[in-house]
Chain A
Amino acid sequence: MATAAFETPKLKPYPVIPLVAEGAMAHSKPFVASAAIQTNIGFPGELTEGWEQRAVARMGELLGKYRSLQVYMDACVHCGACSDKCHYYLGTGDPKNMPVARQDLMRGVYRRYFTFAGKHFPKLVGAVDLTKDVLDDWWRYYNQCSECRRCSVFCPYGIDTAEITMAAREIMDSVGLGQKYSNEIIGKVHKIGNNLGLPGPALEDTLQGLEEDVKEDTGVDVRYPMDVKGAEVLLVTPSADFFAEPHVESLIGYGKVFHAAGISWTLSSKASEAGNFGMFIGNYEQLRKIALRIREAALELGVKRIVVGECGHAWRVAYSFWNTLVGIGAGGKDPYAIELQNQLDHRHKQPTHICELTYDLIQRGALKFDKDKNDDRIITFHDSCNVARASRMGDMPGGQFVIPREIIKAVANRFHDMAPQTICESTFCCGGGGGLLTDDLIELRVKGALPRMEALKNVVDQHGVNFMATICAICKAQFTKVLPYYGFDMSLVGGVHQLVSKAIRLGESH
C-alpha cells in the first residue's frame, strides 16, 4: 500500500513552535500485526469480545508492577513544560503529539477505572471509558512516540512518556492489537537470531567478504571472526551493521580497532543482534528473553568481555537493563548472576560500549591515526536519544556526550557541534526510533526529523558540515531515508567508527 502524498516541512532558519493543528496526524497509523505474528510471540491474535475489561485488568497489573506508571499517572499538573519538546509535535503541530496530551490518552482511562475523582466526577477531571474510539486514538498516538525521553528531561516531576507509551503498547498487545513492524522483528530474532533474519551462513559469507574488502583496501589481514570459543571479547552489534550502508563501515572500523589493539574478539551467530525490540513494545518477558541470547552466547563462548556496537536503544538495554535482566554486569550476589559474572573480567566495565573501548585505547596511546585522511569531511555529531538520556559511557555523568566527540576529534581535524539546545541531553530524536522505523509511518518519520534537520542545516550553512556522525543503527537508517526529503545527500550520515576506520593505522601490511 502506498502512503498518501504529504508535504515535507520547510526548514526555517530558527526553530518555530507550531500552532496547535487538531487532528493533523490522526491518519497516521502503522500496519496491524497479523494473527500469525501475534500468536508467534505469545499475544492473542486479534481483538475479541470483552477486550475492554481485559485491557483495564492488564493496566491494573502494570500499575502494580511499575512505580513509574503509577506515579506518572497521578503526578502531572498540566503545566505545559513538555508541550513544545517533542519532535513529533514540532514537526506536525498535532496537539496529541504533545507529551502531556499523549499521556492523557491513558490518564483519562486510568482516572475512570482507578481513581475516586474519575469514578465519580469523570467530566471534571477528563476521565473517559475505554471504548473503541479511545483505543483507536491510543493506536494512532502511542505509535507516534519514539520513546526518546526528551520530554522527561524537561518535566518538573521527571514524567517519562516513554514509560507510558511502553505500557500502552503492552496493554494493546495483551488484547491482540500489535504493531506489525516490531512484533514481526521480535519473531525473527527468536527464530533466526537477528532482526533482519540473516541466517548464520549468510553472516559467515558477509564477514568473509569484509575481510577480502579490507585486505584489498589496506593490504592488511583484518579478521571478522564468528563463533570463536575462548575469544576475549564478544561483540554484539545491530544486525544492520552486517550489510546496510553506512552501518557496515562502522563494523569494518570495530574490526580494525580490535586488530590494531591486538584484542581477540568474536561475533556470535546466536547473538547476532544487539537490538532488543522487547523494549519498544514494553514487554518485560520479551525484553528478557531477547537479552537471554546474549547471556547464553557469552557463556557458550567463554568470553571475558562483552562489547556493544553502535546502536542507541541496544546500548540502553545493555547498559541499563542487562544486569537486571540476565546478570551481564557486576555486583550480583545471587547464583544466577554469579555464574556469568565470575567468568567476566571486571577490570573492564561489563558491558562496554565500543566507543568506551576505542576511547580507552586512544587514551592509553594504543591506537595511532592519520587524521588528515578525514580532512575531506567537516563533521558534526548527532547524539542518539537512548544513549544521551538513558545510558552513560565512562565513569562520569555525561561521558556519553564526551567520549564519542573525543573519538571524532582524535581521528579527524574538522568538527562543529550543532546548536546547544539540540544536542547532548536536549538532543532531538532522529524521528525513526522506538519501533517506528517502518515505511507505513514514513510521513511521521519525515516530519519528526524536522528539528534535527533544521539544526543540521544551520551547521551545513555556517560551517560547511558534510558529515553527521552518529552511533545508532536506527538513526543511520532513518537519516539515510529522510535526508533526501530535506534536500540533503543521504551519504551525509555515518558512524563514528566509520571515521575511525578511515584514519586508523593498522601497522605493517602482510
Chain B
Amino acid sequence: MSALSVAYAALFYAATAVLVVGLALKIRLYARTPAPLKIPTTPAPVTGTGVALRMVREVAFFESLFKSNKWTWAFGWLFHVSLLLVLLRHVRYFQEPVWAPIVWVQPFGMYAGFGMVAGLAGLWARRFLVDRVRYISTPSDHLHLALLIAIGATGLGMRFVMPTDIIAVKAFMLGLMRLEILPLPSDPQLLAHLTLVAVLMIVFPISKLLHAPGLFFSPTRNQVDNPREARHVVSWAAVLDK
C-alpha cells in the first residue's frame, strides 16, 4: 500500500468528519437559537403546508432570486442543477451494484459538468462586470468560484481529455467505506480533483456555503403567517410575562 493511498484516505476521512460534524454543529446552533418574533416576509403562507411549498419553490427554483435578477438566477440555477446531476452521477463510485436511477442519470450528469462550469463562469463574470457586485466581492468569493471551477475542469478533463483509471478509483472509494485502504491511481489530474473536493468539504461548514442549511432556518421564509391566531412566545420572552 502506497503512502499516497494512505494520505488520501486520511484526507477523505478527515474532510468527511469536518463536513459532517461541522454541519451538524451549525444546524444544531440554528435549530436551538430561538426566533422570538413572527417575521415572515409577507405575503406569506398561512398554513404549514403553504410554508413547505414556499420552501420547495425557494430550494428547487430559487423563486426569490428569480424575482430579483434574471441573469444571476439563470447562472445560479444552471450551476446548482448541474452540480446536483454531477453529484448524482458520482454516487456510482460509492455503490456496487449501482442503483437504477443512478445508472439512468449518468449521461445527464456527464454533460451537466459543462453546465456547472458555464454557470460558475457566468457568476464569476458578474463579479467583474457589474460594478455593484464587484464592490461587494471579497477574495473569499473569488476563491470559492475558482475552487468550484477547478473541480469541474479537472473532472471534465478526466472524462473528455485524459481518462483516468476509474475502476481503481471506485475500488479505492468502496474500500474507504469498508475502512480498507486500496491503491489509488497516481494520475495528477485525479489527485488534484480529489484534493480540491476535500478542500470544499472542509471549507463548507466555516464559509458562506452555509447558505444551504441557512435557507431552511431563515425565519422570513419558514414561518407561518398566523400571529393573530396563535400566540408565539419563546422561552426567554415568556419569562417577561411572569
Contacts and interface: CB of A to CB of B under 8 A. Distances in A.
Interface of A: 17, 19-20, 22, 63-68, 70-72, 74-85, 95, 98, 100-101, 104, 115-117, 123-126, 149, 152-160, 163, 284-285, 288, 319-321, 323-324, 327, 329-334, 336-337, 349-351, 388-392, 395, 397-398, 400-401, 425
A329 B229 contact: yes
A80 B130 contact: yes
Instruction: Pick from A100, A156, A331 the residue with the most CB of B within 10 Å.
Output: A156
Interface in B60-75: 62, 64-65, 67-69, 72
B7 interface: no
B36 interface: yes
A78 B225 contact: no
B36 A284 contact: yes
Interface residues of B, number: 66
B132 A425 contact: no
Contact of B218 (A117, A159, A337): A159
Contacts of A284: 36, 237
Interface string B100-134: 00000000000000000000000100100011110
B240 interface: yes
A153 B67 contact: yes
B138 A125 contact: yes
A117 B207 contact: yes
Contacts of B215: 75, 156-158
B36 A63 contact: no
B206 A115 contact: yes
Given A75-B211, A324-B36, A332-B231, A101 B135 contact: yes
A331 B214 contact: no
A320 B38 contact: yes
B27 to A, nearest CB: 11
Nearest to B208: A77
A75 B68 contact: no
Contact of A71 (B37, B208, B217): B217
Interface in B68-95: 68-69, 72, 76
- A-B residue pairs, 3 tightest by C-beta: A75-B214, A154-B68, A158-B220
Nearest to A328: B228
Contacts of B225: 392, 397
A389 B38 CA distance: 12
Interface string B190-208: 0000000000000000111
Contact of A351 (B67, B214, B228): B228
Contact of A75 (B138, B210, B230): B210
B40 to A, nearest CB: 8
B132 A20 contact: yes
A71 B217 CA distance: 7
B214 A71 contact: yes
B34 A67 contact: yes
B133 A83 contact: yes
B48 to A, nearest CB: 14
6 contacts: A68-B220, A80-B69, A80-B133, A101-B135, A330-B229, A401-B43
Interface string B131-172: 111011111110100000000000000000000000000000
A156 B33 contact: no
B132 A331 contact: no
